[in-house]
Amino acid sequence: MTHGSILPPLINTFEVYSLIRMENFTADSQDVSYMKEVKKHYNLTRINWNGDLCSPREYSWEGLTCDYSKSNQNPRIVGVNLSTSGLKGGLTIAFMNMVSLENLDLSHNNLTGGIPDYQIKSIKVLLVGVTFCGVPHFSSTKPQQPHCRDTEDYAMYEEETPLHIDIRRFTYAELKHITNDFNSIVGKGGFGTVYHGTMENADEVVVKVLMETSIAESTDFLPEVQTLSKVHHKNLVTLQGYCQNKCLALIYDFMPRGNLQQLLREGEDYSLNWEQRLHIALDSAQGLEYLHESCTPSIVHRDVKTANILLDKNLVGIIADFGLSRAFNDAHTHISTVAAGTLGYLDPEYHATFQLTTKTDVYSFGIVLLEIITGKPPVLMDPQTYHLPNWVRQKIAKGSIQDIVDKKLLDQYDTSSLQSVVDLAMNCVESAAMDRPTMTEVVSRLKVLLPTVPSEKQYASASSRCTNSMDAEMRRQFQLLISEERNEESSFRSGYTGGMPELNPLSGR
């Protein structure tokens, strides 16, 4: 509105069109027919389930993985992910007719009945009905018929049947005993409440009780249990066990120094020095590198943030909260899934395309690095709203790099080291995923910045392995490779929030 106007502002809009280069292919006609049967059978009304299934690649149907490797043929569907899609009724035979389908995920739905007794030629991974049916066992040609209970019997089934994982299952009575009747609350969040507890061997633990009371209601419980039961690394949180009767709960090792977000922004009496911050950054990067490079299939955390980096008594960084994690085969460049994460940490390319890759975690880790440098949250509200990377760019453009450094450091840092970490962080938050480094490259660059560690001080290393992909000898060799010497830091007592988010996560958790 101009100064002399007596009318309110006028807002105009215009449409912008951009050229998309189209490849001369369409999805296989048989797969198109079968997916139309699936769409009709489950009455699916997804917004982007229109047009060709696989073309253009950037706009393939959400939840589908297409194989473009054979350039002279129409792409085939090799993966279907309809997890948490509200599916009801029986398993449609259309899936079994898709001759190229290798991975079918129908978990966290309300499916009933058995798996069709049908010859399966291509399916390697089939996740179905874990809410009611448990996980079926498969032969090389066809799955066995699991016997499923009706939804009315679910509470009884949950009481009787544990998950098919090799970790301890706690009873509700045991949880009451461990937590002294849920007496000591150490954290709360959108997921539920975290309690402090003591095991029978005097080990301290935390018990994360979810707001949901059944697996059917929770979208995070099973992914976190299944992921953490398979991964073991010194920089990943250790899951001691779970409970699935009367409540859903996860039991972890207690981290006496809380999380990184607390120490960066609430540490009035104690402040991390520059070297401690670099060590925590390296710890976290090593945990993510393990998920991306050492696990088969690769695992993307999807919710990397300072609140999900816990700290043990020696200030060793531990990645936690795997409720949003996803695994995908390296044979495929990405998986298509609805964007999820926490405001301020979310990869813009993933948010725009719904195509998840390991570079999604790299972007979030870049925001974590900027928080470590500045002590600021990912979104600044005062006096204007800024995204942290933009705030850093503006400050550096107007002054010097010292203007962005956390005042709690009291100028006690190496300027060249600071410059290198800022460069690395800004490299990680590049808009295009292809311009970002891998976590292996991040780890390598951080290691160069840390001083040599005295040999007399060491950290014990947990066995670093994916239990479903390495045999005993490989685990032994891998453990020798990752054992390394680290400084023990001075003692400090802090609280524990169990990863309570500072801002509303986009996933609604």
Last-in-domain residue among 213, 237, 253: 253
Give yes or no: residues 381 and 276 share one domain.
Answer: yes
Give yes or no: residues 337 and 433 share one domain.
Answer: yes
Is 7 contained in some domain? no
| Domain count for the chain | 3
If you search the block for the tokens 């929770």, which residue do you land on? 218
Give yes or no: residues 393 and 436 share one domain.
Answer: yes
Domain CATH code at residue 343? 1.10.510.10
Which pLDDT does position 484 carry in this prediction?
A: 40
Q: Which domain holds residue 123?
A: 29-156
Is 293 contained in some domain? yes
pLDDT in tens, 155-191: 433 444 556 667 888 988 999 999 999 988 988 776 7
CA distance 134 to 158: 10
Q: Say what percent of the chain tops pLDDT 70.
A: 72
- In terms of pLDDT, which residue wins out, 305 or 496? 305
Is 6 contained in some domain? no
Is 491 contained in some domain? no
Of 274-278, 380-384, 405-409, 424-428, least confident by mean pLDDT is 380-384
Give yes or no: residues 381 and 305 share one domain.
Answer: yes
Give yes or no: residues 221 and 319 share one domain.
Answer: no
Which pLDDT does position 398 carry in this prediction?
A: 87
pLDDT in tens, 334-390: 454 545 668 889 888 887 887 788 999 999 999 999 999 999 999 998 678 889 999
Q: Rounded mean pLDDT of 308-331? A: 81
Asked if 303 is an active-site residue, the reply is: yes
pLDDT in tens, 73-129: 788 898 898 887 878 888 888 888 888 888 888 877 777 766 665 555 677 777 765
CA distance 194 to 188: 6
Given a cut of 70, whether residue 132 has pLDDT beyond it is no
pLDDT in tens, 444-494: 999 998 865 443 333 333 334 454 443 444 444 434 443 443 333 333 323
Is 334 contained in some domain? yes
Q: Say what percent of the chain tops pLDDT 90.
A: 25
Is 212 contained in some domain? yes
Cα dist from 491 to 262, 307, 488, 494, 495, whole Å = 16, 20, 9, 10, 13
If we measure between CA atoms, which residue out of 324, 329, 328, 292 comes closest to residue 308?
324
Which pLDDT does position 318 carry in this prediction?
A: 94
Catalytic residue among 28, 105, 303, 361: 303
Give yes or no: residues 297 and 432 share one domain.
Answer: yes
Is 5 contained in some domain? no
Average pLDDT, the chain: 76
Of 57-61, 380-384, 428-432, 475-479, least confident by mean pLDDT is 475-479
Q: What pTM, to 2 d.p., does this model score? A: 0.58
Domain CATH code at residue 170? 3.30.200.20
Give yes or no: residues 286 and 372 share one domain.
Answer: yes
Give yes or no: residues 351 and 439 share one domain.
Answer: yes
Give yes or no: residues 304 and 388 share one domain.
Answer: yes
Last-in-domain residue among 106, 121, 156: 156
DSSP class of residue 58 equals G
Last-in-domain residue among 235, 253, 271: 253
Given a cut of 80, whether residue 321 has pLDDT beyond it is yes
Give yes or no: residues 416 and 459 share one domain.
Answer: yes
Give yes or no: residues 194 and 276 share one domain.
Answer: no
Which pLDDT does position 214 carry in this prediction?
A: 60
At residue 45 the predicted structure's pLDDT band, cuts being 50, 70 and 90, is: confident
Give yes or no: residues 110 and 166 share one domain.
Answer: no
DSSP class of residue 337 equals -
At residue 151 the predicted structure's pLDDT band, cuts being 50, 70 and 90, is: very low
Q: Name, in order, each residue with C-beta under 8 angstroms of 303's C-beta and a sequence gap of 6 or more.
A: 321, 323, 324, 325, 340, 341, 342, 345, 364, 505, 507
Given a cut of 80, whether residue 63 has pLDDT beyond it is yes
Which ranges constitute the DSSP H helices of 191-259?
Answer: 221-228
If we measure between CA atoms, which residue out of 324, 305, 155 comes closest to residue 226?
324
Which pLDDT does position 116 carry in this prediction?
A: 61
